Amino acid sequence: MLKNIMKSNKEKMIVDLDKDKLPKHIAIIMDGNGRWAKKRNLPRIAGHRAGVEALRGVIKTSSDIGIKYLTLYAFSTENWKRPAEEVKGLMELLVLYLRKEIGELHNNNVKINIIGDISKLPSKAISEIDKAVNLTSNNKGLNVNIALNYGGKSDIIHAVKGICENVLDNNLQIEDICEDTFSKYLYTRGIPDPDLLIRTSGEQRISNFLLWQIAYSELWFTKVYWPDFTSEHLIEAIHDFKHRKRRFGGLK
């Protein structure tokens, strides 16, 4: 009975969405897996596994309602500081997730993109990532951008190095460098900046995520831990977004 009521509420919230005011690009800092597990006296990896289950519903709902881009902060450049056993478990979970889910994602026309320097990931993870990216490369539905070994600061440094190389090779003139030019050297080149940034778990900081790209993103924070984040929470954030006045520095 409760499940039917929740389904009914979700359906109503979706119907009430103004499709013309949907964010084109949603970015999510999926935070709180460890604390979710600790609260239940479970190992941290159990929280990460539960987080994968939450991810499935968010991707499906995003696809169903017509979101074009969904960027997920999966593993940051700072996450290497975590215990080796946890990092190993996260990488194994990534491999298992891609092997298990990529077929259905492909059938649903989802395109997988990766942002970040994946060269430092285990070879098995790189192999599965390559398979997923290649398999879905021609899909035209939801673009799921997975941030792996990603950091906003390293993204900017990576872009600066790329620009410097092209200037030194006389392929780019210094006077031609502008914001649009700079954006083309970021990991997110070709992807519009996020309209909405969501962070779970109650923390209210950016944590080195998409520092350049979120200059004018709307921010939405929730105390809900990521494993408990549902499609209803996503739609709630979108409903809140549509009431925001986005002036981009102007007065309109």
What amino acid is encoded at 155 in this protein? D
Contact between 151 and 81 (Cβ < 8 Å): no
Domain 22-150+192-241: CATH architecture, name and number where available? 3-Layer(aba) Sandwich (3.40)
Q: Please tell me the distance from the alpha carbon of residue 197 to that of residue 206, in angstroms, as a whole number.
A: 9
Which residues are annotated as catalytic?
31, 79
Q: What is the pLDDT of residues 43-75, one digit of tens each?
A: 999 999 999 999 999 999 999 999 999 999 999
Gyration radius from the chain CA atoms? 19
Alpha-carbon distance of 237 to 149, in angstroms, equals: 27
Band of pLDDT at residue 2, cut at 50, 70 and 90: very low
Model pLDDT for residues 230-239, shown as the tens digit of each residue: 999 999 999 9
List, for residues 117-159, the tens digit of each pLDDT value: 999 999 999 999 999 999 999 999 999 999 999 999 999 999 9
99 belongs to an annotated ligand binding site? no
Residue 218's closest CA among 249, 180, 245? 245
Number of other residues whose CB lies within 10 A of the CB of residue 223: 10
98 pLDDT higher than 70: yes
Annotated binding-site residue? 78: yes
Is residue 40 part of an annotated ligand binding site? no
